[in-house]
Structure 1
Amino acid sequence: MKDSVLGIDIGGSHMTAALVNLETRSLLQGTLCREAVNSNDTADNILACWCKIINQVFDGAKVTEKHIGIAMPGPFDYQNGISLIQDQEKFRTLYQLNLKQELAARLHIQPFQIRFLNDAAGFLQGEVFGGAARGGKQVIGLTLGTGLGSAFLDNGIAEDAALWQSPFKGGIAEDFLSTRWFIHRYFQCTGKVIQGVKVLAALGEECTEKSLIFNEFGDTLAEFLSPFIIARQADVVVLGGNIANAHPYFLPSLKAKLQENNIDIAIKIAELQEVASLIGAASCWESLHQS
Structure 2
Amino acid sequence: MNENYAVGIDIGGTHITVAVINILDMKVIDFSLHKECFDSNMPVEKVMAVWKKAIEISIRNSKVENIQGMAICMPGPFDYESGICMIKDQSKYEHFYDLNVRDLLHETLNLSSDFPILFENDAVCFGKGEVFKNAENLSKKVMAVTLGTGLGACFIDKGVSISTGESVPQDGEIWNLPYKNGIAEDYVSVRGLLNNYKSLTGKKLNNGLELFNLAVAEDKIAIQVFEEMGEDLALVVLSWLEKFGVESFIIGGKIANASEFFLNSFNRKLKENSIEITVSISADNEIAALLGAASLLLTRD
TM-score w.r.t. structure 2 length?
0.75
Contact 2:48 2:108 in 1 (8 A): no
Q: Tell me whether 1:203 sits opposite 2:203 in the alignment.
A: no
2:258 and 2:101 mapped to 1: Cα distance?
40
Q: Which residue number corresponds to residue 233 of structure 1?
A: 245
Identity %: 34
Q: How does 1:68-217 map to 2 (within 5 A)?
A: 68-84=70-86, 90=93, 92=95, 95-97=98-100, 99=102, 103=106, 107-109=110-112, 111=114, 113-130=116-133, 134-135=137-138, 137-158=140-161, 161-186=172-197, 191=201, 193=203, 195=205, 196=208, 197-204=211-218, 212-217=224-229
Inter-partner Cα distance in structure 1 for 2:104 and 2:186: 39
Distance 1:155 1:210, change over 3 A: same
SS of structure 1 residue aligned to 2:152: strand
Q: Which AA in structure 2 matches 1:80?
A: S
Residue identity matched to 1:58: I
Distance 1:2 1:101, change over 3 A: farther
Distance 1:147 1:210 in 2: 19
The change in CA–CA distance for 1:192 and 1:135 in structure 2 (over 3 A counts) is same
**Cα displacement (A) at 1:235:** 1.4
Q: Cα distance 1:82–1:252, how it changes in 2: closer, same or farther (>3 A)?
A: closer
Q: Which runs of 5+ in 2 are unaligned?
A: 164-170
Rate the CA distance shift 1:57–1:80 in 2: closer, same or farther, 3 A. same
What is the CA distance between 1:282 and its match in structure 2?
Answer: 1.0
Aligned to 1:255: 267
> Which of the two has higher C-alpha Rg?
1
> Residues 222 and 81 from structure 1, CA distance in 2 versus in 1: closer, same or farther, beyond 3 angstroms?
closer
Deviations 1:36-66 (A, max 9, x none): 66754456x7656645543443344234352
Within 1, Cα distance between the matches of 2:56 and 2:224?
50
AA aligned opposite 2:71: G
Q: Secondary structure at the match of 2:186?
A: helix
SS in 1 for 2:250: strand
Candidates 230, 235, 242, aligned match of 1:223: 235
Q: Rate the CA distance shift 1:98–1:150 in 2: closer, same or farther, 3 A.
A: closer
Q: Which residue of 1 aligns with 2:168?
A: none
Taking the aligned partners of 2:223 and 2:261, their CA distance within structure 1 comes to 7
CA RMSD of aligned residues (A): 3.7
Aligned residue type for 2:11: I
Aligned to 1:18: 19
Q: CA 1:242 to 1:200, structure 2 compared with 1: closer, same or farther past 3 Å?
A: farther
Cα distance change, pair 86–162 in 1 and its aligned pair in 2 (3 A): same
**1 CA distance for matches of 2:119 and 2:157?**
18
Q: Secondary structure at the match of 1:163?
A: coil
CA 1:25/1:102 → structure 2, altered by over 3 Å: closer, same or farther?
closer
Instruction: Extract unaligned runs of 5+ from structure 1.
Output: none
CA contact (8 A) 2:137 2:159 kept: no
Q: How many residues align?
A: 284
SS of 1:127's equivalent? helix
Any conservation in 1 of the 2:52–2:108 contact (CA below 8 Å)? no
The answer to whether the 8 A contact 1:203-1:210 is kept is: no
Alignment check: 8 A CA contact 1:140 1:150 kept: yes
